Amino acid sequence: MSLQETLEYRRSVRYFDEAKELDTEKVKRCIELATLAPNSSNMQLWEFYHITDPEMLKKISHACLDQKATETAKQIVVFVTRRDLHRKRSKAILDFEKENIARYSPPERQEKRWEDRLMYYNRVMPFLYSRFFMILGFFRKILATSISLFRPMVTTVSESDVRVVVHKTCGLAAQTFMIAMAEIGYDTCPLEGFDSRRVKRLLKLPRGAEINMVIPCGIRKGTLGIWGERFRVPFEEVYKKI
């Protein structure tokens, strides 16, 4: 399918054909494609839990309020944010960038670019993502707001602001996954109605992890599970040309 056809085909399917199975490797490949999604500072503070075990599917479905989408799903993918992994991700990026710069940057610019990467991922990222009972976020907010009085400055730096950024990033990955699934004729339904504490407990997630989205997967059965025509607010109402 073309991109337009894929986007038009994708719907939130709330009831899947229980007679049709999914190819686990194809779903895994779609999850892999989700990692190509754009994300803030390339920190990739996400994890993807691919649920295929029948017993775990039942448990996850119960934690998702026993919705039909999860009850009839053949597989479920849980998108998880991992703010707590920021130091590990920063180190991985620096390890990659050292060789990347040496291979692709002009010799006269390599030292400066490496210094920039070190500053950003060894200092700026730890400062932005570190947490301490909201105190560090409050300090960052005051500092950024003060600087913004004299020049443009990002001021969405509190701990709650950073949490939003991480969830937006993970949401981009989830959308990429759903588009990839639609392209091969597989269906999905992004859910935000679930008991996050129970899902975390089932997946044995650490305290710093959060559930971004639960996405049941399957194959639609005709129009069953699709609520008629797709409603969208008129484009002229949301499009603003300046």
31 is a domain residue: yes
Taking all residues of the chain, what is their mean pLDDT, rounded to a whole number?
Answer: 96
Please, which pLDDT band fits residue 133 given cuts at 50, 70 and 90? Answer: confident
Dump pLDDT digits (tens) for 178-206: 999 999 999 999 999 999 999 999 999 99
Q: Judge whether 235 lies within some domain.
A: no
Q: How many helices (H) and strands (E) does the chain have?
A: 11, 4
Is position 99 within any domain?
no
Closest CA to 18 of 217, 237, 228: 217
Residues 199-229 have pLDDT tens digits of 999 999 999 999 999 999 999 998 888 988 9
What pLDDT sits at residue 105? 96
The neighbour count for residue 149, using CB atoms within 10 Å, is: 7
Q: How do 187-188 and 75-82 pair as beta strands?
A: unpaired
Q: Whole-model pTM?
A: 0.94
Encode pLDDT of 3-42 as tens digits: 999 999 999 999 999 999 999 999 999 999 999 999 999 9
Q: Is residue 35 part of a domain?
A: yes
Q: What is the CATH number of the domain that holds 29?
A: 3.40.109.10
**What domain range includes position 199?**
3-83+172-226
- Inter-residue contact 74 to 16 (CB < 8 Å): yes
Q: Establish if 65 belongs to a structural domain.
A: yes
Count the domains in the chain.
1
